[in-house]
Structures are given as structure tokens and as C-alpha cells.
Amino acid sequence: MQTPGSQTSLHRANLERVVRAVRMAGSPTQAEIARSTGLSAATVSNIVRELKESGAIEVTPTSVGGRRARSVSLSGDAGVVVGVDFGHTRLRVAVADLAHRVLAEESEPLDADSGAEEGLDRAAELIGRLVARAGAAPGKVIGVGLGVPGPVDTDSGVLGATSMLPRWVGASPGREMSDRLGVPVLVDNDANLAALGELIWGGGRGIADLAYIKVAEGVGAGLVIGGRIFRGPGGTAGEIGHITLDESGPVCRCGNRGCVETFAAARHVLPLLGPAHGPGLTMERVVALAHEGDLGCRRVVADVGRHLGSAVAGLCNLLNPSRVLIGGYLAEAGELALGPVRDSVARYAIPSAARWLTVAAGSLGARAEVLGAVALVLSEMGDSPLIAGAGAGAGAGAGAVEAGAVGVVGVVGTGGPVREPVASV
């Protein structure tokens, strides 16, 4: 029996801490594990040896700054995780191992007017195909992370009314996908997952307080506070697209007037350029024309940046993040949009908050959400199955048990670098 504060329970806590640090970083060195967990180098070395003997981890010689080191990763036999992103017009699926290596990835068009049942069936089929391509048995799938373009109720898992997939409203995609696959499925808003993806793999690495703002068919934000995604009690935190800029402005799909979304979302922006460029215009084409010097497109892109910057300034005043990452079509515009965002922040944010803020484009592009879905599973899965064969020797050669280091490692903020995922497709 493990009593609280006993040598056995403290040792197990340290085991779990090390496993979690490895799981979230992918392939850290032992020195990086020590820094991220607060455990001593000697304790980390003993725990790594114990986990290696149990088959939970693999240790590989490497070098850091010209010095020899040992890279630690979870065993390749430990299983795989799946990320699924349902965008407004595209479905993307990725399969990764527990060392953060993307083993297979594919995307295909998705009809925004299709229902949840059709979309989930297609995703389940694509998952089966990619798991087989990755060389993993279906039973090796530990869990699935699933992203949807709308708020997800944290209690019921039901997709909210402001979803960009109108025929999905009221659906419970996590439960329904779990019924299809027979494995646990975690669901979150696509902006939250993009923020998590950038946090683990992209431009948010090492940043404890940031916001990721996605500008596409809608406008949403993923908020990171203290190294963790902040969702709010109802799961609707980050709906920056529905901040009112002009209460006499256009009617928004949420029922209000003049929301940020009515000035920045693609379906509101494209009609402004229709008379000059004709039907069939896309935001990707608008951005390309802006880079080529088209005055109308440049003006529209800059206006979107300024409107978005007003909302970012409010976010800056409220939460004081150190970094805001812009995703979606606006990220492709680069400084044509980011410059006006910064101008509005400088004008409307209080100087003490704006001083700490960096505004930049996200670095993962269209993969941010699906990689975030993978990271969601990695961050939420339990450690007990991975250390089932370790821990028996808590008092025999396991090293000092450090009570002061006991705790749970955050989703990020571990201090060590995170390896870049390598896609196989």
C-alpha cells in the first residue's frame, strides 16, 4: 500500500514526472529532463536506467554543443496517437508515435455543408488507412485528438451554435468518433489546438503566455496562460471573433453587429473585391495579389490587420501575453497584415502591456491544428501503463527520492527544446 509521502509514492511520482517530461518533449536529453522536472541529474539518471530496463523508454547517444549526451524517448512499442482536424473545407489526419515523430499524414477536401455523421465516417476511414500506412496495428492506437471549428462544451462535449460547420451543431463528435474507433477521443476547438501545436512544435515554444489567432472563414483564438490552454468553464474562451468593433456594423452569424469577424473573416472580405476581380476569388489569391502590388488587395489586407489589431489590443490589456501568433490566410500576408496589427496595438493597448508583446505569424501553417490534436492526446494521456514495469525497486538503486520535485509537469514550459516533427508525406 502506497501511503501519501512514503518513499514508494514519492518515487512513483518522480517516475511519472520523468515520463511526462519525455512524452511532452519527444526526445529530450537527460540534462533537459533534469531542468524541466527540477530533479537532480543523479535521480534522473537512475530513473532513466530503471525505465529503460522495464522497456518503457529508449536511450540513444547524441551530442549537444559538441558534448556527448543521451537522448531519451518513449519506446516505439508504446503505441501511436492520432490527430484529426475538421476545417471548414478540409479534413486532415496525422498519426504520430510517442516520440513526436509524424509517421503518416494526409488531407482531403471536406464539404462544409456535410453533416457530422458523414464527416466522422470519412475521418474513421482515413485514420484506418494512415494507421496501416504507419505500420501500426489498430490496437496500438492509444487515443485520438479531434479538432472542430467551433466552441465545444467542456461538460457535454457538444459542438456549439457558432460552429463553422452548421450541420454539426449539437453533435458530440468525441463520443461518436470513440464509438467508431473503440478508443478514447479528446475534442477541442481548432484555435485551441493550433495554439497547442505552436506551443509544442512551433513559434510558441518556451512561451508561457501567448495567444494564437486564426483568421479564415471565421476568427477565433487559442489562449495559453501559464503554459496551459485556457478554455473557460464552458469551453468558449478565445471567441475573439465576436468582440464588437462597431455596434452599427454588419450583422454577424452570432446575431450581434459589427463583430471582429464581420471585418476580417473571408466571407465578409471577399465581396469587397468582387467588383474588381470577379467571382471565384479566394483569400489565398487576394494575398498573392497583395504581394504582387495590387492596390485594392493591399488596402483590404491592411484594413483587416488594423481591425484585428484593435481586438488584439484589448486582449493585450486583459491578459498581457508575451506573444500573439497569427494563423490562417492573414499569416501568409506577412508584414502587409502584421504591420497594421502592430500599429493598432500600439495605438489602443496600454504601453505597459504592449511593451512585452511580440506579434508574429505562426510557424506551422495549415498543420498547426492537426499537430495540436496530436499534442492534446500526448498531454492528457496517463502515465501509469508506461511505468507499469518500473517502480518496484524504489528503495534499491532507484536514486534519491526528491519530495520537493513532486508534481505535474505542465503541457509546456518545461524549459527544454522540443524536436521538430518529421512528416512522412
**Whether residue 396 is found in the same domain as residue 374:** no
**Whether residue 72 is found in the same domain as residue 126:** no
Return d(Cα 359, Cα 352) in angstroms, integer.
Answer: 16
User: Which residue is it, cell 465516417?
Assistant: 121
Return d(Cα 11, Cα 391) in angstroms, integer.
Answer: 7
- Give the pLDDT confidence score for residue 424 in this predicted structure: 32
- Give the pLDDT confidence score for residue 234 in this predicted structure: 83
Cell numbers found for residue 256: 450581434
Determine, yes or no, domain membership for 412: no
**Whether residue 341 is found in the same domain as residue 265:** yes
**Whether residue 155 is found in the same domain as residue 91:** yes
**Whether residue 325 is found in the same domain as residue 207:** yes
Buried b (16+ CB within 10 A) or exposed e, 70-84: bbbbbbeebbbbbbb
- Number of domains, the chain: 3
Any idea of the CA torsion for 188, 193, 194, 199, to the nearest 10 degrees?
150
Determine, yes or no, domain membership for 423: no
Cell numbers found for residue 96: 504520430
332: nearest Cα among 396, 283, 373? 283
- Give the pLDDT confidence score for residue 412 in this predicted structure: 36
Cell numbers found for residue 85: 482536424
- Give the pLDDT confidence score for residue 54 in this predicted structure: 84
**Whether residue 72 is found in the same domain as residue 84:** no
Determine, yes or no, domain membership for 418: no
The DSSP symbol for 166 reads: G
Which residue type is seen at 93?
V
Give the structural domain span for 355: 203-363
Which residue type is seen at 97?
D
CATH code where residue 186 lies: 3.30.420.40
Which residue type is seen at 148?
V
**Whether residue 358 is found in the same domain as residue 209:** yes
Dihedrals φ, ψ of 85, to 5°?
-125, 115
CATH code where residue 31 lies: 1.10.10.10
Q: Coil, strand, or helix at residue 157?
A: coil
**Whether residue 95 is found in the same domain as residue 30:** no
Determine, yes or no, domain membership for 129: yes
- Give the pLDDT confidence score for residue 24 in this predicted structure: 81
Q: How many of the other CB atoms lie within 10 Å of CB of 332?
A: 20
Return d(Cα 299, Cα 269) in angstroms, integer.
Answer: 11
Which residue type is seen at 313?
A
**Whether residue 172 is found in the same domain as residue 119:** yes
Beta carbons of 112 and 165 less than 8 angstroms apart: yes
Determine, yes or no, domain membership for 269: yes
Determine, yes or no, domain membership for 235: yes
- Give the pLDDT confidence score for residue 243 in this predicted structure: 95
Instruction: Annotate 192-219 with DSSP letters as a single string.
Output: HHHHHHHHHHSTTTT-SSEEEEEESSSE
**Whether residue 260 is found in the same domain as residue 309:** yes
pLDDT one digit per residue (tens) for the chain, 425 residues: 455 567 888 888 888 889 888 888 888 899 999 998 999 999 999 999 998 888 888 898 988 888 888 899 888 777 899 999 998 889 999 999 888 889 999 999 988 788 899 999 999 999 999 999 999 988 889 999 999 988 888 888 898 877 778 888 899 999 999 999 999 999 999 999 999 999 988 999 889 999 999 998 889 999 999 988 999 988 889 999 999 999 999 999 889 999 999 999 998 999 999 899 988 899 999 999 999 999 999 999 999 999 999 999 999 999 999 999 999 999 999 999 999 999 999 999 999 999 989 999 999 999 999 999 999 998 887 766 667 667 554 443 444 555 444 333 333 333 333 333 433 32
Beta carbons of 134 and 93 less than 8 angstroms apart: no
CA atoms within 13 A on the CB side of 11: 21
Going through 138-257 in order, the beta strands assigned E by DSSP cover: 141-148, 185-189, 210-215, 219-225, 228-230
**Whether residue 230 is found in the same domain as residue 356:** yes
Which residue type is seen at 300?
V
**Whether residue 49 is found in the same domain as residue 93:** no
Quick one: how far is CA 63 from the chain centroid? Answer: 29
- Give the pLDDT confidence score for residue 321 in this predicted structure: 95
Beta carbons of 278 and 296 less than 8 angstroms apart: no
Determine, yes or no, domain membership for 421: no
Cell numbers found for residue 222: 487559442
CA geometry: angle 297, 303, 309, nearest 5 deg: 140
Return d(Cα 413, Cα 268) in angstroms, integer.
Answer: 37
C-alpha distances (whole Å) from 280 to each of 267, 275, 295, 398 are 12, 12, 19, 65
Determine, yes or no, domain membership for 324: yes
